[in-house]
Copies of this chain bind each other. A is one copy, B any other.
């Protein structure tokens, strides 16, 4: 039995809920003004015209549907409480009530053992109260409104005691709380979904804010190791599981300098930091929300990333009424950028008008595609570009050697990788002379995006084997012929690794084969490399066939003469 959904609010979030509802045949009625973004893409008689804050309109909507949900948490929970029992409300109204009050939200999470920033309630705060907070938490600290705060509105960073009068002037009339300053190195967000069967989560996203508004998201968070991302997802699931009701929740958190994670705040609805899921996942956060609240099955598999990297860029209203359209126009000139316009009638500076998404086989590829758009957004604001305009290609192969005397041996490898367009980085990292540097480079290689290591060494050739012991990346070893023993010492040292740590060993001094082997390994992932390999072997074949034809034509004696033998 298909349930009809009623949505309080038909802005961009409501609109992006309507998209999957249209596709998977979930009836959906929107309460908002006529012509609201969500209503523009849904033409039927079931919508309600009115404000999502108006009690009567909410009651009218409730009569048209089985489940009420919302695109914004600043709603009248008293009406929802009243309606409880006559219609399902997802997530539960009590969840919304807790989350609406950010201090109550924090107390709720703390009480359930979820890590949040330390904070202190401050209703009817005086200057004296704030000075006391300053002595307790130190400066800066955050002064925040408990309610009606979003996109930075209602927050005041108190940098010193001198800020206190102005802070009170800005926020003094509202119920407040003070929060200890979180020295974070990165802001992360995880979209978690509470279904009838449990709580699941999308991958960890890095969020970049500008003027307290979300500007960019990067998924998975850049340079964050998998175990931290897994901790973030576990924390989001733990936090969301404490709330009553079903649906998608946006969990924003801080990654502190010591890699601790603290929850900043939670939104009980689809969230800007999850917009990338429209292209990034099989099931978007909007469809996930509809599925969760109507009990359509949904599993962790549905939430995985379709491609290794996704970036979302918000498009805000600018100084002219068509600033956002100029960004779309540039996006249309740029390959593979997906445009999402929200159909808003009027562009005001800072208003969210739409967003852009790109997904790619690697984060550096995604960055190279979207950075010109970020620069255009910066330029509209009269800012310097916040991102580099030339993205150096991600090196995929690390070529390491014990000594620069091995460099000449590696020349043929460079030629092959260059001709295939495979970016590489060459470093001297001696296992014997710089064991700490070798350790640092190799253990960090995977996080830096390398996919294969080529290691060259001679004599008691330990570098390839040590590298293999310090990473799970495939390591190709080149035995270099040293001054004695004709390279057999190097070969044995490299190939005869104990069970557990394999080195893909090639012939003595044969860096051509090392590069070709690295290319074959990369071709398992990247069809473009496969095409290069096929071209290479095709030419190789032609070359030998030509020699054979020449030999047949000239005969061996003349051939040898031409060879100068």
Q: Given A23-B340, A507-B495, A524-B451, is A306 in contact with B502 using a C-beta cutoff of 8 Å?
A: no
Interface residues of A in 54-76 (CB under 8 A from B): none
Q: Which 9 A-B pairs have the closest CB atoms?
A: A504-B504, A502-B513, A43-B43, A502-B517, A474-B520, A472-B533, A25-B341, A499-B512, A525-B525
Which of chain B's residues has its CB closest to A1's CB? B329
Chain B contacts for A339, CB-based, 8 A: 23-25
Q: Given A43-B41, A44-B40, A513-B497, is A472 in contact with B306 using a C-beta cutoff of 8 Å?
A: no
Contact of A524 among B301, B517, B521 (CB under 8 A): B521
Q: Given A504-B517, A520-B473, is A302 in contact with B499 using a C-beta cutoff of 8 Å?
A: no
Q: Say yes or no for A39: interface residue by CB 8 A criterion.
A: yes
Please tell me if the beta carbons of A474 and B39 are within 8 angstroms of each other in the complex.
Answer: no
Looking at A208-216, A245-253, A330-338, A546-554, the stretch in contact with chain B turns out to be: A330-338
Contact of A302 among B296, B336, B491, B502 (CB under 8 A): B336
Q: Say yes or no for A154: interface residue by CB 8 A criterion.
A: no
Please tell me if the beta carbons of B328 and A24 are within 8 angstroms of each other in the complex.
Answer: yes
A475 to B19, CA, bound (A): 47
Q: Say yes or no for A510: interface residue by CB 8 A criterion.
A: yes
Binding site for B on A (CB under 8 A): 19, 22-25, 39-44, 279, 282-283, 291, 296-297, 299, 301-302, 306-307, 325, 328, 332-333, 335-336, 338-341, 343, 354, 359, 412, 451-452, 472-476, 491, 495-497, 499-508, 510, 512-514, 516-517, 520-525, 530, 533-534, 537, 540
Please tell me if the beta carbons of B505 and A497 are within 8 angstroms of each other in the complex.
Answer: no
A336 to B302, CA, bound (A): 5
Q: Given A301-B336, A336-B302, is A510 in contact with B499 using a C-beta cutoff of 8 Å?
A: yes
Q: Given A520-B472, A524-B452, A525-B525, is A513 in contact with B501 using a C-beta cutoff of 8 Å?
A: yes
A301 to B332, CA, bound (A): 13
Contact of A502 among B335, B520, B534 (CB under 8 A): B520
Q: Which of A39, A282, A476, A537 has the most chain B CB atoms inside 10 A of its CB?
A: A282
Contact of A534 among B333, B412, B472, B507 (CB under 8 A): B472
Q: Which of A473, A502, A537 has the most chain B CB atoms inside 10 A of its CB?
A: A502
Please tell me if the beta carbons of A497 and B501 are within 8 angstroms of each other in the complex.
Answer: no
A199 to B335, CA, bound (A): 16
* 20 A-B pairs (CB sep. < 8 Å): A19-B19, A22-B41, A23-B340, A25-B328, A25-B339, A25-B341, A40-B42, A40-B44, A41-B41, A41-B42, A473-B523, A474-B504, A476-B504, A491-B495, A495-B507, A500-B512, A501-B513, A502-B517, A502-B520, A504-B505
A515 to B520, CA, bound (A): 17
Q: Given A23-B340, A506-B503, A513-B502, is A333 in contact with B474 using a C-beta cutoff of 8 Å?
A: no
Chain B contacts for A500, CB-based, 8 A: 512-513, 516, 537, 540
Q: Given A22-B41, A282-B336, A524-B452, is A513 in contact with B534 using a C-beta cutoff of 8 Å?
A: no
Chain B contacts for A452, CB-based, 8 A: 524
Which of chain B's residues has its CB closest to A412's CB? B499
Which of chain B's residues has its CB closest to A525's CB? B525
Which of chain B's residues has its CB closest to A358's CB? B282
Q: Given A282-B338, A499-B512, A505-B506, is A332 in contact with B24 using a C-beta cutoff of 8 Å?
A: yes
Chain B contacts for A41, CB-based, 8 A: 22, 41-43
Chain B contacts for A506, CB-based, 8 A: 495, 497, 502-505
Please tell me if the beta carbons of B523 and A522 are within 8 angstroms of each other in the complex.
Answer: no
A502 to B511, CA, bound (A): 10
A306 to B305, CA, bound (A): 11
A475 to B506, CA, bound (A): 11
Please tell me if the beta carbons of A513 and B533 are within 8 angstroms of each other in the complex.
Answer: no
Q: Given A282-B336, A506-B504, A517-B504, is A22 in contact with B43 using a C-beta cutoff of 8 Å?
A: no
Chain B contacts for A296, CB-based, 8 A: 332
A522 to B524, CA, bound (A): 7
Which of chain B's residues has its CB closest to A335's CB? B301
Please tell me if the beta carbons of B499 and A299 are within 8 angstroms of each other in the complex.
Answer: no
A359 to B359, CA, bound (A): 15
Please tell me if the beta carbons of B521 and A341 are within 8 angstroms of each other in the complex.
Answer: no
Contact of A495 among B25, B354, B505 (CB under 8 A): B505
A354 to B24, CA, bound (A): 9
Chain B contacts for A451, CB-based, 8 A: 524
Smallest beta-carbon distance A455→chain B, Å: 13
